[in-house]
Amino acid sequence: MKGPYPEIQGGGSLILAWQVRNKHVLVIGGGEVAAGRIVNVLNADAKVTVVSPQDGLNDEVAFRIAQKQVTYIDRKFEPSDLDGVDMVLTAVDDPEASSQIYKLCHEKRIPANIADVPPECDFYFGSVHRDGPLQIMVSTNGNGPKLASIVRKQIAAGLPPNVGAAIQKVGALRRKLRKIAPDIEEGPKRMQWMSKVCESWSLEDLCEMDDEDMEALLGFYKPGNVPSFQEVRLGEPEGAFDGSFGWL
């Protein structure tokens, strides 16, 4: 019998935006898969160590090493490499070695991803679309990475080309709003007001918004009003007059 609440659908994974800034991530392997993993964690501002014999490096991984974007250890994995590590990504063509590494990580409670072995993964990598601060991930829970890529491309093709820039401007506005209304009890009001801005203004308006526009718009936070972009630019938004002898 169906109830009034969402029906539980088992078999999924919990999709999170994992913050690994300044965390120590160990990548074991130096081939094409390792190269993709390295890009993912570097984009998330992690501190990356790569362990792989030099003859196993592909051109991209060798480039990251030459540019000192990662710390490099020229040899095969050793258990001591796990000391002080926050996350492990394994991408080697040795199933037995991969399983042993996973067991070691499990014993040390280090989250690990073993490439192409879903049962030995604490988390999966999805197919990600990136546009500035916007990230959209499609996951098949390890069932079909290629299909995830196809779905991700279809979703990305339907997005407005300026959505990333609009999100950057919204982020800047939120930071300014926190400065003028920093109290914790203001939280619900800040969220409600920002929601009104995002719903009332078009993506084009948000992209065009500059610092002067933001300052003018923030003048309407206290009474909870959200004038249109055109009204803000004209400098005489409707409803701005508060009944006293001056504009809000």
Of the residues 76, 109, 125, the one at which a domain ends: 125
> Is residue 88 in some structural domain?
yes
pLDDT score for 237 = 53
Give the domain CATH number at 136. 3.30.160
For residue 135, give its domain range: 126-159
118 & 147 share domain: no
3-state SS, one letter per residue, for the chain: CCCCCCCCCCCCCCCCCCCCCCCEEEEECCCHHHHHHHHHHHHCCCEEEEECCHHHCCHHHHHHHHCCCCEEECCCCCHHHHCCCCEEEECCCCHHHHHHHHHHHHHHCCCEEECCCHHHECCCCCEEEEECCEEEEECCCCCCHHHHHHHHHHHHHCCCCCHHHHHHHHHHHHHHHHHHCCCHHHHHHHHHHHHHHHHHCCHHHHHHCCHHHHHHHHCCCCCCCCCCHHHHHHCCCCCCECCCCCEC
50 & 120 share domain: yes
48 & 102 share domain: yes
> Is residue 8 in some structural domain?
no
Residue labelled with tokens 């993506």: 203
pLDDT score for 1 = 58
> Is residue 38 in some structural domain?
yes
96 & 119 share domain: yes
Nearest CA to 110 among 31, 17, 20?
A: 20
pLDDT score for 141 = 82
Give the domain CATH number at 89. 3.40.50.720
Q: What is the pLDDT along the chain (248 residues), one digit of tens a residue?
A: 577 898 888 888 888 889 999 999 999 999 999 999 999 999 999 999 999 999 999 999 999 999 999 999 999 999 999 999 999 999 998 989 999 999 999 999 999 999 888 889 999 888 889 998 999 999 888 788 889 999 999 999 998 888 999 999 999 999 999 999 999 999 999 999 999 999 999 999 999 999 999 999 999 999 999 999 999 988 765 544 443 333 43
> Is residue 214 in some structural domain?
yes
37 & 121 share domain: yes
Single pTM value for the model: 0.76
pLDDT score for 29 = 97
**Catalytic center residues:** 116
49 & 110 share domain: yes
> Is residue 246 in some structural domain?
no
pLDDT in tens, 16-69: 889 999 999 999 999 999 999 999 999 999 999 999 999 999 999 999 999 999
82 & 114 share domain: yes
> Is residue 3 in some structural domain?
no
Torsion of CA 87, 91, 95, 97, to 10 degrees: -60
> Is residue 15 in some structural domain?
no
**What distance in Å separates the CA atoms of residue 43 and residue 19, rounded to the nearest whole number?**
11
146 & 84 share domain: no
> Is residue 4 in some structural domain?
no
Number of domains in the chain: 3
86 & 144 share domain: no
115 & 139 share domain: no
35 & 116 share domain: yes
pLDDT score for 236 = 61
